[in-house]
Amino acid sequence: MTEVLAILRGIHGVWLREIMRATRDRGQLLGGVSRPLIWLMILGVGLNPYFRGEVFGEVKMVLPFNYLQFLFPAVIVLNIMYTSIQFAVSVIWDREFGFLREVLVSPMPRWAVLLGKVLGGATAATGHGTLVLILARFADVTLTAPQVFAAIGYMFALSFALTCFGVVLAGKVRSFEGFGVFSNTLILPMYFASSSVFPLDPSLTRTQLSTSYPEWLLWLIRVNPITYAVDALRGILIGFHQFPAMIGYALVAAGCAGFFAWALRSFGK
Amino acid sequence: MSALAKGWRRPLRDISLLAGFLAAVSFLPADTSLAERQASGQLRYCVADQNSPLIRDPAAGGPGPELRLMQAAAGRLGVQLRLVEVANIGRSFNPADWNLTRAQCDVLGGGLADSAANRGFMTLIPTGQQIALRRSGTAEEPPPGTKVGVFAGTAGLDRVRLSGFMRSRGWQPVPLRREADLRAWIAGGAPAIFLSLTPLPEGTAHHPLAAEAGEVRDLVFGLWRGDTTFTRAFREAISQGGDAGLKQPPPLRGMN
């Protein structure tokens, strides 16, 4: 029993350190606010008129939402992706400056150290996702309390999976500079190829879709797990799915378990 | 104050400032749709027929329930309501042929049903009314081969489904374009299928249609999708209900 309490205290300590570091990093906080402002208030407002209805019966976007509402959940996922994956920088930092070595030689099991770090990263990423919810009024998304709680719960699970993925990446990349390039060539392509900024009309058949988008792009979107992560959050926030809802939840759950196991294998190598 | 609490003061202040900034920014207008209507001072409300019972109360002669709601909403938005009758509505199966554009209408109503097709075209806001198809004539269904008048109006009910239902019964549909045509058809003693809100000659017996012909649907106001600020303001104005809280409902500006 004392052993369990000691491990829990250790996890709490590592988690608290990550939270303190995330909240004291003003650059990271500003990034968490500037991203939604740029994506929602500049890109969203700029493109909204092009998806607007002009003639009754004419189809531009056969979704019962305007472009801002459609984009809103995707911007939250983008904020979470950046914060979670960038969390790997803290792992590289700890490795570079010896903190990780000190923690790993402590009596705490390796999985508990990793869990504390990942929980800290996931909490920070969830915080960044939750900040975007404040802009719901701007996007004309009406949220109820159960929706907000469900969204925060889902965001935490997604953040956990992506933070573990960040730790896996940190195990592959040995320098800060290398990670910067790596993350930019990973986050943005995954985000854009996820039907986050343009809709795949669910009322169209596969053949009809192929006339709107080239087959290779449809393939990329369908194999991209972020597609389903965004789709599940859209289901929670605006009640709209382009794919069966369970795919998103199942992928995030599998991501949490799979990436944690993978991260544990590479952690502290 | 403990050192730990002191240590959290700055991060908490930063987060509060950023959250406050985002909250303030969320009050910026996302588009000019509301400002444009308020600058023009009028709200164009397009209907198929200004004599529909939703627009004109056939018993009292005053405004019908939907028009009263619109008048109150226009008053709350600080604009005058302009009723625009668009005779094109319902003339073709393809709504694109009705030539209803943003330049012509701000809100579409007067019998618009909440359907998947209409949801694809517009943002729909419930009026609190419902609509369904009914059949005039005897309680027993007419035999196959009977000519049955059809007044499907503009509601956006599933006409394909209705057509399939009529085929399954072996009835011959006779399209009736206006309410006057319907009344004349019923006066002639022939059975007809019509929208539940249509005023009928006194004493006309009518019955619900079988479920396979179509379900009861909510009636809605249709707003152009993408008009974010106008839609929010209109929804808020409508949600306050009828003309409660309004000192004097604004008069109609005119009719086209």
Are B228 and B174 part of one and the same domain? no
B222 and A56: CB-CB below 8 Å?
Answer: yes
B95 domain residue, yes or no? yes
Quote the percentage of chain B above a pLDDT of 90. Answer: 30
B10 domain residue, yes or no? no
pLDDT attached to residue A173: 76
B80 domain residue, yes or no? yes
Are B236 and B198 part of one and the same domain? no
Name every chain A residue with its beta carbon within 8 A of the beta carbon of B28. Answer: 41, 138
A63 and B102: CB-CB below 8 Å?
Answer: no
Please state, in angstroms and rounded to a whole number, the distance separating the CA atoms of residues B26 and A140.
10
B33 domain residue, yes or no? no
pLDDT, tens digit (0-9, with 9 covering 90-100), for B63-75? 888 899 999 999 9
Are B112 and B225 part of one and the same domain? yes
**Confidence tier at B248 by pLDDT (50, 70, 90):** very low
* pLDDT at residue B164 is higher than 90: no
Are B207 and B151 part of one and the same domain? yes
As for the ipTM of the complex, it is 0.85
3-state secondary structure of A209: helix
CATH number (domain holding residue B202): 3.40.190.10
Counted domains in chain B: 2
pLDDT, tens digit (0-9, with 9 covering 90-100), for B26-63? 999 999 999 999 999 999 999 888 877 788 887 777 88
Residue type, B65: P
Q: Is residue B256 within 8 Å of B84, Cβ to Cβ?
A: yes
Are B194 and B138 part of one and the same domain? yes
Region for residue A229 given its phi and psi (left: phi exceeds 0; alpha: psi -120 to 50; beta: otherwise): alpha
B101 and A55: CB-CB below 8 Å?
Answer: yes
* pLDDT at residue B25 is higher than 80: yes
End-to-end CA distance of chain A: 30
pLDDT, tens digit (0-9, with 9 covering 90-100), for B98-109? 788 888 999 998
pLDDT attached to residue B247: 38
pLDDT attached to residue B253: 38
Residue A138 Cα, gap to closest chain B Cα (Å): 5
B16 domain residue, yes or no? no
Please state, in angstroms and rounded to a whole number, the distance separating the CA atoms of residues A149 and A201.
28
CATH number (domain holding residue B108): 3.40.190
pLDDT attached to residue A42: 93
Residue B201 Cα, gap to closest chain A Cα (Å): 33
B114 domain residue, yes or no? yes
* Count of positions (residues) in chain A: 269
Please state, in angstroms and rounded to a whole number, the distance separating the CA atoms of residues B34 and A256.
45
User: Would you state the structure tokens that stand for residue B183, as one six-digit string?
Assistant: 């009344």
Residue A37 Cα, gap to closest chain B Cα (Å): 8
* pLDDT at residue B137 is higher than 70: yes
Q: Does B96 touch chain A (CB under 8 A)?
A: yes
* pLDDT at residue B244 is higher than 80: no
pLDDT attached to residue B90: 65
Please state, in angstroms and rounded to a whole number, the distance separating the CA atoms of residues A174 and B23.
39
Please state, in angstroms and rounded to a whole number, the distance separating the CA atoms of residues B84 and B105.
8
Are B113 and B144 part of one and the same domain? no
Average pLDDT over chain B, rounded to whole?
83
Residue ranges of E strands in B107-160? 107-113, 122-131, 133-136, 147-151
Are B209 and B228 part of one and the same domain? no
3-state secondary structure of A142: coil
pLDDT attached to residue B246: 41
B18 domain residue, yes or no? no
Domain limits, chain A: 2-52+59-266
Q: Is residue A29 within 8 Å of A86, Cβ to Cβ?
A: no
CA distances to A200, A202, A209, A244, B151 from A206, rounded to whole Å, are 10, 9, 5, 15, 36
Per-residue pLDDT 10s for chain A (269 aa) are 788 888 899 899 989 988 988 888 888 888 889 999 999 999 999 988 888 878 887 766 667 788 899 999 999 999 999 999 888 777 777 777 777 777 777 778 889 989 999 999 999 999 999 999 999 999 999 999 999 999 999 999 999 999 999 888 887 777 767 777 777 788 888 999 988 888 876 555 555 555 677 888 888 999 999 999 999 999 999 998 888 889 999 999 999 999 999 999 887 66
Are B113 and B235 part of one and the same domain? yes
Host domain of residue B184: 133-213
Chain B residue with CA closest to A136: the answer is B26
